Amino acid sequence: MSFGSVLTALVTPFDENLAVDEQALVDLMQHLAKHGSDGFVVCGTTGEAPTLNDAEHLRVVELACQYRPEGTTVIAGTGSNNTRHAVHMTERATELGVDGILSVTPYYNKPTRRGLIAHYREIAAATDKPVVLYNIPSRVVVDVPNDLLAELAQIEHVDYVKQANNANLALVDGLGLYAGNDEIFGRTLDMGGCGVISVASHVLGDQMRQMVDQPERRSEIEASIRAVTAAVNVTNPISIKAALNLLGHRVGGLRLPLVDADEAETSVIREALQKAGLLDQVPA
């Protein structure tokens, strides 16, 4: 199946007590669907999955599936460095009606190549939905080289990769390719990849949609949004939540150990949004 080209790695909005703000989540999905997003990845890094308990995590998945805007897709992050837990969350997300599963490489415990293969075999067997592998060595320590990705592609249901190691960006036999970093979206499209799982599309969705629909202008558009893309990706999800709050979206703060952007950090984000004309659209 096709998940679409612009998939937003959705933040999890919190209220003033840092409980999940369910209405804000639904409202944000509706807004993003009108501004370029083909689908949503919920409960990933940007969605602060590490600080959600299982009940909260699955409730966010349920809400996303229940209230997905017409024509959009939902992928649930269910990764863990505990294979049994990853399998459990994958089974539950599948039952809730997701279109796909995002499974990050196990972090901290540094599995071997054979361990990674065994891990993903278990996860893929727990669902009948497409599995998106997520390679992000800057966060999980372990890198998955392209020859191993090609081997993992032989596992039934392992159909895509979200590549967040820019040095590894390449088409791999058997896997649809999604850019895992916003700055490589254009390169990914140019080489025939599927699209991007994006942080910046929270605020740049219209422009990113234009990059898909107007390939002849892709480089020009990408250059025009580079400053905002960089500003909202400084520290994810701290920076993007600050940007969304500046733009009038009710997404709230962050759970420890993440903290809100400070005055200096917020000033940099505000300046980038202002120069791009994005703050001009905020109601007074």
pLDDT above 60 (res 284):
no
The Cα–Cα gap between 180 and 236 comes to: 13
Tell me which DSSP letter residue 175 carries. B
pTM of the model: 0.97
6-214 CATH fold: TIM Barrel (3.20.20)
Domain ranges of the chain: 6-214
Strand partners, 258: none
The Cα–Cα gap between 251 and 263 comes to: 18
Sign of CA dihedral 149, 150, 151, 152: positive
- pLDDT confidence bin for 1, thresholds 50/70/90: confident
CA of 214: how far to CAs of 37, 83, 147, in Å?
16, 42, 33
The Cα–Cα gap between 176 and 230 comes to: 25
pLDDT tens digits, 17-54: 999 999 999 999 999 999 999 999 999 999 999 999 99
The catalytic site residues sit at 134, 162
Residue 143 CB partners (closer than 8 Å, separation 6+):
135, 137, 165, 168
pLDDT above 80 (res 102):
yes
pLDDT tens digits, 262-283: 999 999 999 999 999 999 876 6
**Closest Cα to residue 188, out of 172, 199, 201?**
172
For 50-59, what is the mean pLDDT?
98
